[in-house]
Amino acid sequence: MLPAINLASTIPRTEAEGPGLRYALWVQGCPLRCPGCCNPHYLTGRPARQVSVESLLAEITQTPGIEGATFLGGEPFSQPEALGALAAGLRRAGLSVMVFSGHPLAHLRARPAFAPLLTQTDLLIDGPYQKDQPDTSRRWIGSTNQQIHFLTDRYRELAGRWPSGETVELRLRRSADGAVSISMNGSPSDDISALIRATLRRKP
């Protein structure tokens, strides 16, 4: 029986985490400790939302209009079996799978334990996020050390013509008690983040 997926958060429809409209999921837990990690609250392996492969697969495939899913973290390859099964189901349903990993591709290929997810990945962005090397030219990519790998033909047309620019999405949510919160996703550079924060602080 497959283990449950330890899920930190999800955004069902986003254009800020890869090509097209995508379902993005962030897993809980990462063994790496990149200086300036962009998601430090996702590092510990504490139990977060425990969800079965079947129910998450149903949730994603029923999301209208998406062309694929993106796995981020945390470290997706710390849950290779469950996420590999999820990815296989998504691809059977015609959706694409993009994965961000702090592990370099050579490391992933050298260890059979990673194969269940690696063999189901269309597009891999590898290498740890490095805060001091922000990437402001390749859309969706956090730092310049990270490499794009087309592991299948699914997005090979983007080789040599990867989109440029930065995409950031802001979401406002009102909870049941009436409180309003704001969240941001994408890979904004420091100046864009500072601009957003200054704008939000500005009084009307």
Candidates 34-42, 46-54, 113-121, 193-201: pick the segment binding ligand SF4 (CB under 6 A). Answer: 34-42
Residue selected from 5, 16, 25, 34 as contacting ligand SF4 according to rule CB under 6 A: 34
**Closest distance to ligand SF4 from the beta carbon of 28 (Å):** 10
**Closest distance to ligand SF4 from the beta carbon of 203 (Å):** 34
Q: Does 39 bind ligand SF4 (CB under 6 A)?
A: yes
Q: Which of residues 104-163 bind ligand SF4 (CB under 6 A)?
A: 128-129
**Closest distance to ligand SF4 from the beta carbon of 104 (Å):** 11
Q: What is the identity of the amino acid at 114?
A: F
**Closest distance to ligand SF4 from the beta carbon of 144 (Å):** 14
**Closest distance to ligand SF4 from the beta carbon of 34 (Å):** 3
Q: Does 32 bind ligand SF4 (CB under 6 A)?
A: yes
Residue nearest to ligand SF4 (CB): 102
Tell me, letter by letter, the H, E, C secondary structure of the chain. CCCCEEEEEEEEEECCCCCCCEEEEEECCCCCCCCCCCCHHHCCCCCCEEECHHHHHHHHHCCCCCCEEEEECCCHHHCHHHHHHHHHHHHHCCCEEEEEECCCHHHHHHCHHHHHHHCCCCEEEECCCCCCCECCCECCCCECCCEEEECCCCCHHHCCCCCECCCEEEEEEECCCCCEEEEEEECCCHHHHHHHHHHHHCCC
Binding mask 47-86 for ligand SF4 (x = CB under 6 A): --------------------------xxx-----------
Separation between Cα atoms, residue 85 and residue 88, nearest integer Å: 5
Residues of the shown chain interacting with ligand SF4 in the complex, contacts defined by CB under 6 A? 30, 32-34, 37-39, 42-43, 73-75, 102, 128-129
